[in-house]
Amino acid sequence: MDARTPPLYGDRPDDVAVAARALAAGAVVATGFGNMYALVTRPDPATVRRVNLAKGRPAGQVGSVTTVPARIAALYDWAQVPRRLPVRRVRHLMDILYAAGPFGFRGPAAAGLPDHLTRLDGAVRTVQVIAPGPACPSNLFLARALAETGADHLHITSANRSRHRTGAVDEPAHWKAEGVLADLAGLADLVLLAHPDEAAARAAYPGHLPMSVTVLAFHAPAGDPEDPPVLTVERHGSLHVDQVRRAAAPLGLQVRLGVGAGTRLRSRSYAAELV
């Protein structure tokens, strides 16, 4: 299927069905996701490897996962959360931050998740779950794609070329469809499920910049056992860390910046690229 003609839109049920069937057949779907675009595919190893290579990433780079809101909690092994982090409070924080818009959490991986979608951090096997928030129309596509594949999760990554290919320190995510198509023209089976109105999609998330999501980890809290429990921002992206801290503080949770998160990601500028 050609992503360029005709366009498919995320608010049209028939278009969503076409994109979901294409994904189940092995295609790569670039979908409107919160205030930007993301690539969503089947979660099998061959497809994840193919997308990594198409983006210019190392073939074996571990993928992130996505799913519909009701299935997020089941992707984690809550029994492996460190005792200093009260599970009820962590899950409440997840609900708050996902309700606000696109966000990511990394925590202990549920049994059954494969190696190519999980990463060891010390002795803890972790999974990174990226979700657009319950208000995002892309949940309709995710639900239909899960039904078509029979899976409970899908593979997700940013819809752009990797910094490994471009040589940039950071390669920003795309929030315009034409940028996605330009970057990933070599993917013959790319299917575009576009935002019906890109400006409206960005305006729907005034607290989020149009870039890759902020990721908060809850598998390895740091600090003295007598101190309040700490969660770590592993990637400082679309939601500012100050807003994350404001959401966590009433729950008695502290948030720190992890190694590499001291500099916030850049939002893409199209001034020179698409004019």
Q: Is residue 201 scored above 70 in pLDDT?
A: yes
In the chain, % of residues over pLDDT 70: 92
Q: Is residue 189 scored above 90 in pLDDT?
A: yes
Over residues 139-175, the pLDDT tens digits come to 999 999 999 999 999 999 999 988 766 656 678 999 9
Q: Judging by beta carbons within 10 Å of its beta carbon (0-12, 13-18, 19+), is residue 272 exposed, middle or buried?
A: exposed
pTM over 0.85: yes
Terminus-to-terminus CA distance in the chain, angstroms? 27
Is residue 191 a contact partner of residue 7, using CB atoms and an 8 Å limit?
no
> What pLDDT does 217 receive?
97
Q: If you average pLDDT over residues 100-107, what whole number do you get?
A: 97
Over residues 37-72, the pLDDT tens digits come to 999 999 999 999 999 999 999 999 999 999 999 999
> What pLDDT does 142 receive?
98
Is residue 272 situated within a structural domain?
Answer: no
Is residue 273 situated within a structural domain?
Answer: no
CATH of the domain at 165: 3.90.870.10
Q: Judging by beta carbons within 10 Å of its beta carbon (0-12, 13-18, 19+), is residue 191 exposed, middle or buried?
A: buried
| Structure-token pair, residue 142 | 């995710």
What is the rounded distance in angstroms from the CA atom of residue 269 to the CA atom of residue 173? Answer: 10
Is residue 227 situated within a structural domain?
Answer: yes
Q: If you average pLDDT over residues 215-219, what whole number do you get?
A: 97
Number of domains in the chain: 1
Q: Is residue 272 scored above 70 in pLDDT?
A: no
Per-residue DSSP letter, 62: P
Q: Range of 34's domain?
A: 8-257
> What pLDDT does 164 receive?
63
> What pLDDT does 10 receive?
96
Is residue 269 situated within a structural domain?
Answer: no
Is residue 20 a contact partner of residue 145, using CB atoms and an 8 Å limit?
yes
Is residue 230 situated within a structural domain?
Answer: yes
Is residue 87 a contact partner of residue 191, using CB atoms and an 8 Å limit?
no
Residue type at 129 in one-letter notation: V
Is residue 125 situated within a structural domain?
Answer: yes
The residue to which tokens 């794609």 are assigned: 145
Contacts of 82 (CB under 8 A, 6+ apart): 219, 220, 221
Helix (H) or strand (E) holding 203: helix 198-203
When pLDDT is cut at 50, 70 and 90, the band that residue 274 belongs to is very low
Cβ-based neighbour number of residue 111 at 10 Å: 6
In the chain, % of residues over pLDDT 90: 85
What is the rounded distance in angstroms from the CA atom of residue 8 to the CA atom of residue 6? Answer: 7
When pLDDT is cut at 50, 70 and 90, the band that residue 229 belongs to is confident
Is residue 248 situated within a structural domain?
Answer: yes
Q: 100: helix, coil or strand?
A: helix
Is residue 274 situated within a structural domain?
Answer: no
